[in-house]
Every structure is written in C-alpha cells, then in structure tokens.
Amino acid sequence: MNAPLRPALRSKEDVLRALVDEISIPPHMDEKARGRYRSIGDWLNRDASTLKFLDPRISAQGSFMLGTVIRPVGDRDAYDVDLVCRLAKATMAMFTQAGLKAAVGVEIQSYVQAHNMASAPRDGRRCWTLDYADEASFHLDILPCLNAEQQFRTRLSAAGIVESIGVSADTAVGITDKNSPGYNVPGGAWNISNPTGYGRWFRLRQVLVLEPWRRAQMAAGRVFASVEDVPNHEVRTPLQDTIKLLKRHRDGMFDGDEDRPISIIISTLAARAYHGEATIAETLAAVLPAMAGLIETRGGQPWVSNPSYPLENFADKWPAAPRKQELFMRWLAQANRDFGEYLRGSRFNDIPAGLTKRLTERTVGKVIPRLALTTPALALVPAAAVQAETSRVIADGRATKPWTP
C-alpha cells in the first residue's frame, strides 16, 4: 500500500518546516527515550533502593528538556540524552562529590544488572553513562546532583547579582565533577549549575508564542498556570525549529569534530537574540546576524553566560582550546551566508547548494520532491524519487506540470 502523499510545499516557511520535520527525532523515539529515563527514576524510587530516603528525581536537561532534539547525521550514530539525578533531600554535609557519584553509581549498576543490559555503565568526568544498543540507540548521561540553594545565593551575593526569572536559588544544584579540586574533600567546594532554571528561562524567552498555545490547551481542558509550566517538549515554536536547523547545519559542517560548536552555546545565543518572531524564516533572519554580538568579553576572555547562573561561562573552554572558538565563529559566518542566501532568494523552491550540503543532501533530498520544482532544484532529486512522484501525480489526476525526466 502506498504511503499517503504529503502536502506540497508552497513557501519558504513550508520548506523550512519540512526540513525540521526531517531532522527531528521521531515521536516514537522521543517517547522511548523518555520512557527509559522514567524507568530509571522508578528504579531509584523503588522500596529496595538505597537512595529512596533521599527522594531521587530524574529529569531531562539539554535538548530533551528544550525540545530541540535532532536525529544523528549517521544511521549508526546514537541519540545523547542528558539527565539530572537530583537527590532532593541530600545535602553537601552528607556527601563529598565522589561519595554522591558512587552512591548513585551503586543504583545505576544494579539497574543495568536487573535489566540485563549488555554494557556496564561508564563512569565519566561528571556523569554515569548508559549505552542502549537495540533498535533505538541512546546514550543516557546521568548527572548526580543535590540542592545548592545556600551556596548559589552566597556566590551571587558576592558577585552583586540578584535573583531573577530563571536565576532562582530554589532550582540550583551542586554537581559532581572529577576535575573539581574539592571532588574528594568533605566540605569542599562544588560546581554549581541550574538546568531547571535554564529551562524556565528558555520558555519565558518564547512567551509571545507560548501564551496562545497555553490558552488553547486550557480551553481543551489542560491547565497550565503560566508559560513557565509548559513542557518544552510538548510544543513546537519557531525558536525550537530554528535551533534544530542550526544544529543540523553545524553537524553537516563539522560532523565528528570534537571542537565543533556545542549546542548549549548555539541555543543560548539564539534564545537571547529571539524576540517573539512568529515564523522560522523570521527567526533565522533575526537571530543569526545578532548572535556574534551577544558573545561578551570579561577579563579579556570570551564569555557566554549561563542565563540561569550568570557566574557560569559556557565558553570557558575557548581560551585553552582556541580552535573551539575559531570553529564556532567560522560556523556562525557560514550559517549566516547559507541561510541568508536562501531567505533573500526570490524563489522558495531554489535551495542553495551550500545550504543543501550543510543540512546534508539526504535531508534536503527528502523535501525536494514536494516542491514545485525548478530546473536547479530538480537536479538535486534522485531519478527514482522523481519518477515515483510523477507516477503518484498521474495516478492522482494532478498531472498539470510536465516535469518528468
């Protein structure tokens, strides 16, 4: 049985949205990933868990929290799922960082054994990593952490920073990090982060588009007290779609390069440059030219501040590894050229060769058959795809344009 014919694309916005569809994680894979980390949360909270009395809570951070997950470029590449394991009733007086990492590791080890997983968990610098090697290939990075409300307030106060939306002490956490001088020291200093606060800030950057969605959901019987309560992964906004396109462009340009631009910097700068634009095209046109100007310099060093913890610099590795900054600026300039060329073009169905290369020909090739094709665009379509689409058009009685080979 033939698959249903997908709608024709008639504008640049249609094309951009279709490209996002192709690079987004499929819904069933997204739900499988969320089901797996919910399973880990259930394991940590079972009656026999050694951590149950500390109220362990598993939640997503990174792209799974923001709703900006994209497919890996290669079929054999895995999705990276970043998780936070927060022991809500634990304190820094109860654990060293090494002790917290080990305590969480005991339960992760037992989860792997109980579920007959093929690979043992890997003990990384900050996280425990679980590898799933079945039909849904995932790496789950689990970051142990605990409340850091007091330390967060103390550090902000010393720097003269006041709490604000997203910069909230009640969501701050201390995280484990083997490179921290206090890793094995009782009462030693902890690195602070605030992933939940970041998610709150990210939602509020999109209040102009999220508020109508929230009201529509309330009319349908789903109550969200405010935009802050809207789960990022349940909506689809121009900013989220733009970030997905930028990340795929990055991957197409630097796939496999360890110094390639990191997603958190791309997402942060794009969100800072976003001001409620209603379409993907408008968002790309607004944020790309503005991103470079949002990189600060503090003490002579490049600085991309964490909006939920302003003392954290997402670009802290750039001074010691200048190639990271070099590749970021090279990528940003190329993204401006590639997307700018398409957005300025007179025809929605002429996707520039440079943009096609960076988004990958495989991705663009899946979208091209849905266009009202021009000669340059037609050249990018595999002959088999053209013939298949032609047959469907004829069978459907819509043979109004003779674009067959």
Residue 7, pLDDT score: 84
Confidence of residue 75 (pLDDT cuts 50, 70, 90): low
At 103, the pLDDT band (50, 70, 90 cuts) reads very high
| CB half-sphere exposure, 260, CA atoms < 13 A | 14
Task: Give the amino acid at 147.
Answer: N
Tokens of 314: 């997402």
The count of residues in the chain is 405
**Residue 372: predicted pLDDT:** 62
Residues 228, 269: contact at Cβ < 8 Å? Answer: no
Joined tokens for residue 88: 């809500």
3-state secondary structure of 289: helix
Q: How confident is the model at residue 213 (pLDDT cuts 50, 70, 90)?
A: confident
What would you report as the CA-atom Rg of the chain, rounded to the nearest whole angstrom? Answer: 23
* pLDDT value of residue 226: 65
Query: Which two three-digit tokens encode residue 308?
Result: 């939920």
Write the DSSP string, 164-189.
Answer: BTTB-GGG-EEE--TTSTTTTSTT--
Mean pLDDT of the chain: 88
- Gap between the Cα atoms of 55 and 228, Å rounded: 23
Q: Residue 378: is its pLDDT beyond 50?
A: no
Binned at pLDDT 50, 70 and 90, residue 316 comes out as very high
Task: Name residues whose C-beta falls within 8 Å of residue 6's C-beta, 6 or more positions apart in sequence.
Answer: 370
Reference 167, options 309, 311, 313, 312; nearest CA is 309
Is the pTM of the predicted complex or chain greater than 0.75?
Answer: yes
pLDDT at res. 201: 93
Q: Are 142 and 103 in contact (CB under 8 A)?
A: no
Digit-coded pLDDT (tens) for 41-51: 999 999 999 99
State pLDDT tens for residues 252-263: 999 889 999 999
pLDDT of residue 375: 42
User: What pLDDT sits at residue 196?
Assistant: 93
The tokens for 300 are 């002579």
Report whether pLDDT(163) > 70. Answer: yes
Higher model confidence: residue 355 or residue 236? 355
**Is the predicted pLDDT of residue 293 greater than 80, yes or no?**
yes
Percent with pLDDT over 70 in the chain: 87
For residue 68, which of 218, 168, 198 has the smallest C-alpha distance?
198
Residue 170 has what pLDDT? Answer: 92
Residue 246: closest CA among 397, 66, 119: 66
CA angle 384, 387, 391 (to 5 degrees): 140
Q: How far apart are CA 164 and CA 228, in angstroms?
A: 14
- pLDDT for 393 equals 39
**pLDDT over 50 at 386, yes or no:** no
pLDDT at 248: 97
Write the pLDDT tens digit of every residue in 110-157: 999 999 998 999 999 999 999 987 666 888 999 999 999 999 999 999
